[in-house]
Structure 1
Amino acid sequence: MKKRIIWIATGIILAIFIGLTAAGNYFYNVAINRSQESVELHGGGESVTAATLLSEKEEQKKLEEITAWTKKQKFEVVEIKSEDGLRLKARFLKNEQPSGKAVILAHGYKGNSEQMPGITKFYYEQGYDILKPDARGHGLSEGDYIGYGWHDRKDYVRWSKFLSEEAGVDEIFLHGFSMGAATVLMASGEELPEEVKGIIADSGYTTVLEELSHQLKYMYNLPAFPVMQVTSVITNIRAGYTFAEASAIDSVAKNKLPLLIIHGDKDALVPTEMGKRIFEKANSDKEIWIVPGAGHTEAYTIAEQEYQEKLKAFWTKAIGK
């Protein structure tokens, strides 16, 4: 009888282990493994405010203007090598009227360097050179997995050095959206070149563990424990990082650069409270702007003029001019 109980218990434990391992590998393939397929994330849709802001005719006209401007620009594809030997690529736009200033724009999850045309145009019109990297595992860059900003943080140190050493830039800002915001926040805790003057994070998450747990709850109606912990172990084996260590909130505590946090108060993809907690943890000169009515990364759409004024004031203060 005792032997039978032991066999049953062993069988149950083995079944649970196999089930959790299968679930962990499934979620790794969905969320971490490189794929061209887009994922419908919870909270990723357009908000009511953004949808009703402009008439269809006005929106179309604005989009046509940005698209026409973008097509006229001569982006150069540039390349660096990552610390672990990956060939990483970016689109670089040298300003026709160089000012010695540049911005590195960081795209979001499953995005690429061809995105963010509106903010690209704005920065260019302010005299900035523009560098738009494809994150590892995205676009033209190599990489078999998505790092959610963690391994990418060191890539951004290298991109910053590329601008300061090879492009002759004197003042650099890092500006990221969503996963890109988490990336620049994580990079802020590293030893960046002295030319980097400030960090702008729009809709960034606290840690990969918290963000993926948030998505797991709403997309699959599953508790984070133990699925996220198992997936994290598999990610550590296959990609070399854990969800808990991939922390923007811990990195920002080490940051000494001026910091601007932007978050929509209707953000359901990356909850607004994450932006507030990041702000509270930061020790550098910091500012937070919670944008009324804005969903995920919609602040520029909802309040374009105010967004631009916020950026101008932030640059001026950060550079000290």
Structure 2
Amino acid sequence: MIHMNKLIRTIKIFAICVFVLICFFIGSHVLVLITLAPVRANIGNLPPGYKEIEFRSDSGEDIRGWFYNSSSKKGTIILLHGIRANRLAMLARSNFLIKYGYSILLIDFQSHGESSGELITIGIKESQDVRSAIRYIQEKQGKSKIGIIGSSLGGASALLADISEEIDFMIVESVFSTIDSAIRNRVASKIAKPIALLTPIAYYILKYEINISESGLNPIDHIKKVKCPIFVISGRDDLYTFESEAEEMYQRAQTPKELWLVSNAGHVDLHAFSRVEYENKVLSFIERHMN
């Protein structure tokens, strides 16, 4: 009888564990699908001085955005937003840089804002959008100097695009080092740290949905190939991209390179968080390497 009770108890525990795993699998699948779903937005009125643009991307989608053409001809800076955002997230940076004579290209990544697309791909198709944006500027501006500022997904996509030989500088903000750490850190932050141990399940769901290899979504494997000046920026209190990840990204990068870990900042808009210091540091970096 005692052995029978132990057996029943063991079966119950096993059943509970299986149930929890099934719930996590279903929950992970739902969360992945929500994360990858397109984020449509009516961007609104065109700001003064900008013009609406559209180009066909190598991703197969029609990319929409705004272009500001400065009369100073100092060069063009492409601004790349984070996941589930759009060009408006980078507009404050744009207006700051315009004051110093730079032309600006703001785009909505595929499956974001007003651009077409049916699935966010965490950098796979978005990196093709980056390459196409550079080509668009080259066709419109000739031999104009080009720089990139990318936040989170924007920075990751710039690194994954492997376009450093075609630009004069790159600034990457709050960029995950590997897709594994990106998933694990977000699960631990939003749900619970123990559940983050099940990250491989979420990763394989993601892999199935967007058809990628793990190595294809690791910015840290691409940053070492960047040949232009690069500035790595991240928040010291970022729970999605740890300080140690930013430091390792910086260590892997070639010179010239810079690192700024923003005190007390999480995974936030770093320009809005520390506007004066951000503008001073970023402008200094751009002026040194763009001119």
TM-score by structure 2 length?
Answer: 0.82
Q: 1:119 aligns with which of 75, 93, 108?
A: 93
The letter for the 1-side match of 2:195 is P
Deviates more, 1:231-240 or 1:138-147: 231-240
4+ aligned runs moved over 4 Å, structure 1: 11-21
Deviations 1:216-237 (A, max 9, x none): 11222253344x3333333333
Equivalent residue of 2:122, what SS? coil
Partner of residue 230 from structure 1, selected from 176, 189, 201: 201
Equivalent pair of 1:113/1:134 in contact (CA under 8 Å):
yes
Structure 1: runs of 5+ lacking an equivalent: 1-7, 38-69
Matched, 1:216 2:187: yes
Q: CA deviation at 1:72?
A: 4.8
Relative to structure 1, the CA distance from residue 117 to residue 253 in structure 2 (aligned partners, 3 Å threshold; closer, same or farther) is same
Rounded Cα–Cα distance in structure 2 between residues aligned with 1:101 and 1:229: 43
| Pair 1:25 & 2:34 matched | no
Relative to structure 1, is the Cα distance of residues 242 and 145 closer, same or farther in structure 2, using a 3 angstrom cutoff? Answer: farther
Structure number with greater CO (CA < 8 Å, separation at least 6) is 1
Shift of 1:18: 6.0
Aligned length: 274
Whether 1:315 aligns to 2:290 is no
2:234–2:246 CA contact under 8 A, matched in 1: yes
Letter in 2 for 1:135: F
What percent identity do the matched residue pairs reach?
22
Equivalent residues of 1:102, 1:130 under 8 A apart? yes
Distance 2:90 2:57 in 1: 24
The residue type equivalent to 1:76 in the other structure is K
- Name the CA distance, whole Å, in 1 between partners of 2:282 and 2:143: 19
> C-alpha separation between the residues in 2 aligned to 1:28 and 1:244?
19
Answer whether contact 1:120 1:130 (CA < 8 A) is retained. yes
Q: CA deviation at 1:239?
A: 1.9
RMSD: 2.9
Aligned-partner Cα distance in 2 for 1:305–1:108: 21
Give deviations 1:67-88, integer Å, cap 9, x for gaps.
xxx9651432322223242222
- Aligned residues of 2:165 and 2:228 also touching (Cα < 8 A): no
Moved more, 149-158 or 12-21: 12-21
Which amino acid in structure 1 is aligned with residue 279 of structure 2?
Q
**Aligned pair 1:85/2:53, yes or no?**
no
Would you say 1:162 and 2:136 are equivalent positions? yes
CA distance in 1, matches of 2:118, 2:179: 18
Query: Normalising to structure 1: TM-score of the pair?
Result: 0.75
